[in-house]
Structure formats: C-alpha cells, structure tokens
Structure 1
Amino acid sequence: MNFPQGGGCQCGSVRYEISGPPSVVYACHCTECQRQSGAAFAMAAVIPGEHFRIAKGKPKMFLRRTSPVKTMECWFCADCGTRLYHVPGGSAYPNRNIKPGTLDDTSWLSPTIHFWARSAQSWVRIPEDATRYETQPDTLAWTGPDISASP
C-alpha cells in the first residue's frame, strides 16, 4: 500500500486523505454495526489523527450513545448520507476509525481482528489466523490509546 491515499462519500461532496497506514483493520459483527452498514459486519481502519484530514467538504456528525456513560461521534456526508468515520469516546480520542469501504483503493484491506463474533451471521467465515473476540474486548489498546469504547 502506498500513501497518501484518498477516499470519500458516494456523491463526492466530502473527500478525505490519509497519509499513513492504519494501526489495525478490524471487523465488528455486533448487531448495531450490521444495522449501520446494512451488511453482515462493519469494518474500520484505525488511522492516527495526524495521518487523517478532510480534503474537501464538511462532514456532519451525530452523537450515538454506546452505553449509559459512553458516546461515539459518527461522521457522514450531509448530502448523500455515506458514513465516513467514527470517533469512539469523542474528541479526546486521537484516532479516526474510517469506514474502509470509502477508500478509493480497497485492495489492501484485510481485517486481522474480529469482535462480537457471537453475533456473526452463520455463513460468515472468520479466518483461523485472525484474532477473535466473542464480545467487545475489555481493552481497545490495539486501536491506539487504551480507551474503553464501542466500535
């Protein structure tokens, strides 16, 4: 994979650029991610904040409660609704969990961690060499700072 890489929404109103590789690419099989993605699971590529920038447009944000005490910023295109990235735990979290399907080049993507595997669709095959969690991991240290937040 070469950097920088670009990505954006379906209509082209919002574009972003990443200038470095993700710390991890993961798949979440929780029912909330299935609903949000409209698919069997959702993926995220965790990009250090210093390697992410909005190059065009202005995404809109809604705050989703992930527990009684936790929230997640969910950023999307206000024109076409494409979900672009998440910020678990809010602005204190330094990384951007981009929706990797919004990248222009997705050929290099392969999730190495799968969580909420107990909610995975029965036909989904998680690779044997992938790290697997039946629910939410106790720590998300592999995403950057050790925070306890929802994907």
Structure 2
Amino acid sequence: MKDPNLPIEGGCRCGAVRFRISAPPIFTSACHCKGCQRMSSSAFSLSAAVPADGFEILQGETVLGGLKQDLPHHFCPDCMTWMFTRPPQIDFIANVRATLCDDTSWYAPFMETFTSAKLPWAETGAPHSFTEFPVEADMAPLIEAYARSVGRAD
C-alpha cells in the first residue's frame, strides 16, 4: 500500500463534478453492506476516508441521494455517479469513491467491512476484515496501522 501523490483529483463519470484530495487518506476500505451493493450496483464499494479540510469540490455541485438524513451521499446531478458521503457527526469525508480518482494506482483497500453481507465470491485482498463496521474503540488503532502500512512515520 502507498499514499497517493497529493494533491490528487478526480471526478464523476460525465465530468460535470470534479474534486481534489489534498490530505492523505485516513484509511481505505471496501464495504460489502447491502446498501453499498445496491448503490454501487456491484459486490462492494471502494472508499477512501479523507479529512474534511483535505477535500474540496473544484467544479460543479452535488445533490444528495441515498439516505439523505442519516448519511448524506453526494451524487453528480447529471450522471448520478455516487461520489462521496459526508456524515454530519464526524470531521472527515467518509466515502470518497476511490475509483473516481484520475490516478488509482495508489489505492488498495486496507479493511473490508460488513462481510456479513459479502457475496461468496467477492475478494478484496484487504488485510483487516469486519463482519460489521469496526467499533469506535478499534478505529484509532486501525487508523494508526493504516498510516504505518503506507509508510508514514509514527
């Protein structure tokens, strides 16, 4: 695993909405929950959690979709690409869709979540696996382990 060369930019499928990540990811993940399966039309969704002050929209505006109140999922209003999720209770962008980055060579999922809903054939190669989402007490050690895995100093 490695960190992206920052800043890194990306955008939706049609190019109407563009974003920039200017801070290293907190962690990367693959989520197997039924919601991610349905919203991504795939076996799992791939995400990078990024500090809120390290993420900006460069062009266009997003619209809310999915679970608008509980988990504000941001979509391109033109092509309806699911771009990111910004939970109000935390200070990071929880689900920047990593495959939307122009350069994805840096990306690999560090953990996989909601394996209780995992399709039997779906493999991610993530070194950490959870049947649901990790409990709060596990998050700080996971974030530290992710930083070490990408070569950041302790």
- TM-score, with length taken from structure 2: 0.81
Q: 1:32-73: CA deviations, max 9, x gaps?
A: 1111111110111001011100000111113616xxxx7100
RMSD: 2.0
Q: Pick the aligned partner of 2:9 from 6, 10, 14.
A: 6
2:146 aligns to what? none
Q: Contact conserved, 1:63 with 1:71, CA < 8 A, in 2?
A: no
Q: Which has the higher strand share?
A: 1
SS of residue matched to 2:109: coil
Structure 2, gaps ≥5 residues long: 144-154
1:115 aligns to what? 113
1:23 aligns to what? 26
2:152 aligns to what? none
Sort the Cα spacing of 1:133 and 1:18 in 2 relative to 1 into closer, same or farther, 3 A. Answer: same
1:147 aligns to what? none
Q: Contact conserved, 1:75 with 1:83, CA < 8 A, in 2?
A: yes
Q: Which has the higher helix share?
A: 2
Query: For 2:135 and 2:98, how far apart are their aligned partners in 1?
Result: 24
Query: For 2:131 and 2:61, how far apart are their aligned partners in 1?
Result: 36
- TM-score, with length taken from structure 1: 0.82
Structure 1, gaps ≥5 residues long: 145-151
